Chains A and B, each alone.
Chain A
Amino acid sequence: MNNAVLSVRDLQITFGTRDGRASVVNGVSYDLAAGETLAIVGESGSGKSVSCMALMQLLATPPARVEGEAIFDGRNLLTLDEAGIRKVRGNQIAMIFQDPMTSLNPVRTIGHQLIEPIELHMGLKGKAARERAADLLDAVGIPSAADRLDDYPHQFSGGMRQRVCIAMGISCEPDILIADEATTALDVTTQAKIIDEIHALQSRLGMALVWITHDLGVVAGIADRVIVLYGGRIMEEAAVNELFEGRRHPYTRGLLESLPIPGRERPDKLNAIAGLPPDPLSMPPACPFAPRCPHAVERCSTERPELRHPVPGHAVACHFDPEELYD
């Protein structure tokens, strides 16, 4: 893709632990187009958060070791020096974290915290910075924004705090906004509103959005394209409609089937995928999903399935054609 703002190639992340090297991300490659919404889906430990933190050099190295390339703006983010990456952070790539209760400093006012990235990257000071901060709060839907700048985080509800975090994220009009489980800690109505808010801001500012989540319902509502991660590898990558309607990797299928379906006979019984995610200290050598896959054959645990493109724009890492499996 030529209009990619971010090209990740063969990203590998390992962590040194007492028991050896844990490989958390094993060769992930993708492109992110300008203005697009990419959802990265996977269960806990699939490497989705870590792979995005690595892009901003937010992992402590050591214990982490990051290899591969992430080309942004003609430069490799993974090898930028400290001063270089600081100019990217918050300015060109911004991040929203999962828990709005802990991602704001409890002893500083919202205004102070909002003004911080504005001062750091936009060179605004004093009154101008404050005005910009008030505009931002207003943009994320906080009533009487200018008056609330002097409030502390504990004076805001969870949804409001996440709006503040979003305001911080978009304060320098980044090219990419990474939302790491940004709505997971919120109740469903607030979640829906926050998603709408981010969506609106995205189209207004033309930024690309990377939405990290394990919630497929959110994915269906927001994403253009979906990457399904499992055991630090891409299992499937497809446009969102393709993924929900078209051919599927057995893992993706398992994920979708584990969702509760309203109106089904026993909605309290969910079809969980049997087994546990692979141990990053001893990754299966071939397909990471093979030990849990209902369709696995011998080949699956000896030979790694490469990402294939059965149809253009849809990639699957499986030895089988989905059609063979689900007829």
Chain B
Amino acid sequence: MTDPAAVLDAGDPPVEHRSRLRTTVETVLRNRLAVAGLIMLTVLVVVALFAPLIAPYGINEPDVANRLSGPSLDHVFGTDNIGRDVFSRVVIASRVSLQVGAISVGIAVALGVPIGLISGYYGGRIDSVLMRLMDILLSIPAIVLAIAILAALGPNIFNAMVAIGIVYTPIFARITRGSVLSLRDAVFVRAARSIGATDTRIIATHILPNVIAPIIVQTSLSLAFAILAEAALSFLGLGVQPPDPAWGRMLSEGRGFFQQAPWMALFPGLAILFTVMSFNLVGDGLRDALDPQQRSLIESRGVAE
């Protein structure tokens, strides 16, 4: 004999054991644009990883006889004003772009997320001070701030990463803080406190996992921005220093020859477009999967405007 009440109470519908990771991956894969972005990103990463094998010529190997020659079988993207192969330089430069993107966003996450967590969790004066600092950083146009930081630190690629990282820190701090604020008074946080958990433990094991979704989305979108920022800085001569190739540098070098040899600027420009687009598509897909509320918010704002 079973207790009928027990049967009632045990009437938990059999739940599918699907992890959050799996559902996220499935949602992303159902989104065609996101899949396109993922494929583009994969191509990009493969190219960057095997760049020295793919590039047919050295980055500083002049073919003076064929300088400023258009795309041909020998030089698929043409050659520049001193006869270097544009394709090889674009391929090699993908490494520095991805590296700058990853490291600078890494810096922004490493600084911004803890600031947001502390600010949102403790509130009060700590919050005011940290957030006003972030506001100051945000109030300066990103590229101007990066130029200022580079002017102080000296122009090289390492400093460019630091500068871009600092510029994007407030974005992560604000996103994290906003999500933490809505959780600070959640019952499960109070419950965690009621079992004797320390603040550090509550932040690390209860709050952080709940705010990770918007951070992931922002990371992927920020990678695109960071790569653009690096291109802009290199264009201005503040990032990668010659003779190393960078897409931004190549744009600026090609500028003077745009009428005679448009391929010099065109192909690095397309590379930037390709990269930024792939990160944006993946980022949008992730946002649809992880953070649908934020998406509808943004979309409704778009309609209202």
On A, residues with C-beta under 8 Å from B are: 56, 58, 86-91, 94-95, 97-99, 102-108, 112, 116-117, 120-121, 143, 151-152, 154-157, 159-160, 165, 168, 189-190, 192-193
Q: Cβ of B194 and Cβ of A95 under 8 Å apart?
A: yes
The answer to whether residues A97 and B191 also contact, given A89-B196, A121-B196 and a CB cut-off of 8 A, is: yes
How many B residues, CB 8 Å from partner? 26
Q: Cβ of A107 and Cβ of B195 under 8 Å apart?
A: no
Distance A91 CA – B196 CA, assembled complex (angstroms)? 8
- Name the one of A116, A154, A155, A159 contacting B192, with C-beta atoms under 8 angstroms: A116
Q: Which 8 A-B pairs have the closest CB atoms?
A: A90-B195, A89-B196, A155-B15, A90-B196, A117-B195, A102-B187, A103-B187, A95-B194
Distance A77 CA – B114 CA, assembled complex (angstroms)? 32
Q: Cβ of B9 and Cβ of A159 under 8 Å apart?
A: yes
Least Cβ–Cβ distance between A75 and chain B, in angstroms: 15
Interface centre among A98, A106, A156, A192 (most CB of B within 10 A): A106
Task: Name which of B68-76, B92-100, B128-136, B204-212 contacts chain A.
Answer: B204-212
The answer to whether residues A108 and B209 also contact, given A58-B190, A102-B188, A165-B191 and a CB cut-off of 8 A, is: yes
Distance A102 CA – B190 CA, assembled complex (angstroms)? 10
Q: Which parts of B1-39 form the interface with A (CB within 8 Å)?
A: 5-6, 8-12, 15, 17, 20
Distance A165 CA – B206 CA, assembled complex (angstroms)? 16
Residue B198 lies at the interface, judged by CB distance under 8 Å to chain A: yes
- Name the one of B5, B197, B209, B210 contacting A193, with C-beta atoms under 8 angstroms: B5
Distance A89 CA – B191 CA, assembled complex (angstroms)? 10
13 contacts between A and B (CB under 8 A): A58-B190, A88-B196, A89-B193, A94-B195, A95-B194, A97-B190, A102-B187, A107-B210, A116-B205, A117-B196, A143-B10, A151-B15, A154-B15
Q: Cβ of B195 and Cβ of A190 under 8 Å apart?
A: no
Distance A107 CA – B206 CA, assembled complex (angstroms)? 8
Residue B54 lies at the interface, judged by CB distance under 8 Å to chain A: no
- Name the one of A98, A120, A151, A159 contacting B195, with C-beta atoms under 8 angstroms: A120
Least Cβ–Cβ distance between A170 and chain B, in angstroms: 11
- Name the one of B9, B188, B194 contacting A104, with C-beta atoms under 8 angstroms: B188
- Name the one of B8, B12, B206 contacting A160, with C-beta atoms under 8 angstroms: B12
Residue B186 lies at the interface, judged by CB distance under 8 Å to chain A: yes
Which chain A positions have C-beta within 8 A of B197?
A: 86, 90, 116, 120
Interface centre among B12, B186, B188, B194 (most CB of A within 10 A): B194
Least Cβ–Cβ distance between A160 and chain B, in angstroms: 6
- Name the one of A88, A105, A143 contacting B188, with C-beta atoms under 8 angstroms: A105
Q: Cβ of B196 and Cβ of A87 under 8 Å apart?
A: yes
Least Cβ–Cβ distance between B127 and chain A, in angstroms: 14
Identify 14 new A-B residue pairs, CB closer than 8 A, beyond the known A86-B197, A94-B195: A90-B194, A90-B195, A90-B196, A97-B191, A103-B187, A103-B191, A107-B20, A116-B192, A116-B197, A116-B205, A120-B196, A143-B10, A168-B191, A192-B5
Least Cβ–Cβ distance between A152 and chain B, in angstroms: 8
Distance A99 CA – B188 CA, assembled complex (angstroms)? 10
Q: Which parts of B184-236 form the interface with A (CB within 8 Å)?
A: 186-188, 190-198, 205-206, 209-210
Which chain B positions have C-beta within 8 A of A155?
A: 12, 15, 17
Which chain B positions have C-beta within 8 A of A107?
A: 20, 209-210
Least Cβ–Cβ distance between B125 and chain A, in angstroms: 12
Q: Cβ of B194 and Cβ of A56 under 8 Å apart?
A: yes
Least Cβ–Cβ distance between A180 and chain B, in angstroms: 10
Least Cβ–Cβ distance between A181 and chain B, in angstroms: 11
